[in-house]
A and B are shown apart, each in its own frame.
Chain A
Amino acid sequence: MDKPEVATELFVLLSAVLFTLGSMGVLLRRNAILIFMSIELMLNSANLALVAFARQWNQSDAHLMVFFVMTVAAAEVAVGLALIVTIYRTKQSTDVDDLHALQG
């Protein structure tokens, strides 16, 4: 089999970069919606790595994993956004720093 022109490593590196950016977003931003978007970014970077390895190993199974991850992400977004809406109703804010009822 021919070697692909773009090495798998590059894709995985890109995935790592995107993951780091996503995690920074989760940690730094205070807007709950933006945190959510960052989580989506992290999930996408993981997907990218999966697809890259799938090509490397010539196995379709990873594609299935990506498919499932997307589905789970959809479910998670729906529930998460519902939570945000509910919180917004009670607190009139989407700032996660306003939520600290679990303080010990």
Chain B
Amino acid sequence: MVGTELALFIMIGALSILAAVMMLISENAVHSALFLIVNFACVAFMYLMLNAPFLFAVQITVYAGAIMVLFLFVIMLMGAERVLPQETQRFPWLAPATLGVTMALLFVAGLAIIQSDIDTSEPEPADPIFRFVHAVAGADAVDVYIDGEKVVSDLIYREASDFEDFPAGSYTAQVVPHESELVPENIVLETSVFLAGNGVISYVLTADTANGGVQALQVEGRIDPNDEKDFARLTVVHAIPCAAGTTSCPIEVADITEPGKDPQVLVKSLEYGQATHFEVKEGEYTLAAYAQGDVRAAIDERGDTDEKLNLDALVQVEEKVIDQNTGVLWVVTQDTTGGIVRPKILWFALDNNPDFGSAEGIGQLLFTDYLLPFEVIGLLLLTAMVGVIVLTKQHETPKKERFRRRMANVPGNPTVEEYVQSMRKNAADSSGD
């Protein structure tokens, strides 16, 4: 049974081959160009089928559009649309030889493709990426070492480090105050971390209220789509320090996306330094954190009237988009610099891997990993432009130069054969002495 997609592939593929053949055998160059455009369009369609919409667009606009227009323009400019009649075939053996070679090529390539079992091979898991988030209130900046190698430097409270990538495996992470030596008495936290392939992991450093000290909470950012389809995972970390003298200050987190409705309490009680996670559907959310029991108290106070709730959020995040199959991290903190309490939003979409093939994904790669090649390519284009200008410029040969060239062609200089003859003669003369 041939599916729709396969049927489409066969049709478009056949069309592209047909267009290519027609391009080859057309007598008229303009026709060839038009057939080539058809072929390009077919290939562009293939891109679409291969989940590459951005390349589809580029193929249509740049290739089939701009470049082919250039071709047509040159053909028309030179009036070379009619191919010259094939008068004398200079290399009669060329056509059969070509056919032989190309067919052999096709045969070999086809054999290789069929034999190599492309479809059954699995990609290697990508290197995991990870980062650290500093959520210990009042603590100084820290450095993080992985197996003795400094990966994070000067990480301050309420900030997250950049993503680092390491080969998958188990490591020992050590946290020390910023700019102090990696010696046992300096180490604030030493913990072993497991970095699984394809992983996108955040380590949130929080205060360990139970044991004192610091703990690292591991938050996975990418969810295996086979496990939890159509869900996203929201992780909330409580990082607002308790008031002086108190040891317990739990918060609750509520969904206040719809203004008219009462807050939907998602997390009932979360102690300082603790984390919790829950699954949400994809969508746009506005979330708020309250001191534990505030929502209940406010609803009780209002009673059954339609009045607005008298409720102040500690921190609130507004209109955040959560995509499916991603993990989202919300570190609930406040900015208390200067004695004024202001909400501070630490919201991380954990999946660092945007959609495959999308313009966004390509753009991200282009401006990170491939920035240098991109610039080199730009330079190449510039050079090509200059080159074209230089090549097509009509040179006016100066008179003096023409004269010099004429004089250089004056007969009388010995050819190579003459020179060799004279050499041989000399050799014969000298040996005869």
Contacts and interface: CB of A to CB of B under 8 A. Distances in A.
Physical contact A–B (CB less than 8 Å): yes
A31 B265 CA distance: 75
Interface stretch (B90-98, B233-241, B253-261, B279-287): B90-98
Interface of B: 3-6, 9, 13, 16-17, 20-21, 23-24, 29, 32-33, 36, 39-40, 43, 46-47, 49-52, 54-55, 58-59, 62-63, 66-67, 70-71, 74-75, 77-78, 80, 83-84, 86, 90, 94-95, 98-99, 101-103, 105-106, 109-110, 113-114, 118-119, 121, 123, 225-226, 356-357, 361-362, 365-366, 369-370, 373-374, 377, 380-381, 383-385, 387-388, 391-392
Nearest to B79: A88
B114 to A, nearest CB: 7
Nearest to B46: A48
B377 A6 contact: no
A79 B388 contact: yes
A60 B70 contact: no
B32 A60 contact: no
Interface of A: 1, 3-14, 16-25, 27-31, 33-34, 36-38, 40-41, 44-45, 47-48, 51-61, 63-64, 66-68, 70-79, 81-86, 88, 93-95, 97
A21 B17 contact: yes
Given A23-B102, A54-B50, A85-B77, A68 B39 contact: no
7 contacts: A6-B5, A10-B13, A67-B366, A76-B384, A78-B388, A85-B78, A95-B84
B39 A58 contact: no
A8 B365 CA distance: 24
Contacts of B36: 37, 40-41
Given A33-B71, A60-B356, A82-B388, A10 B9 contact: yes
A7 B49 CA distance: 11
Contact of A7 (B46, B83, B119): B119
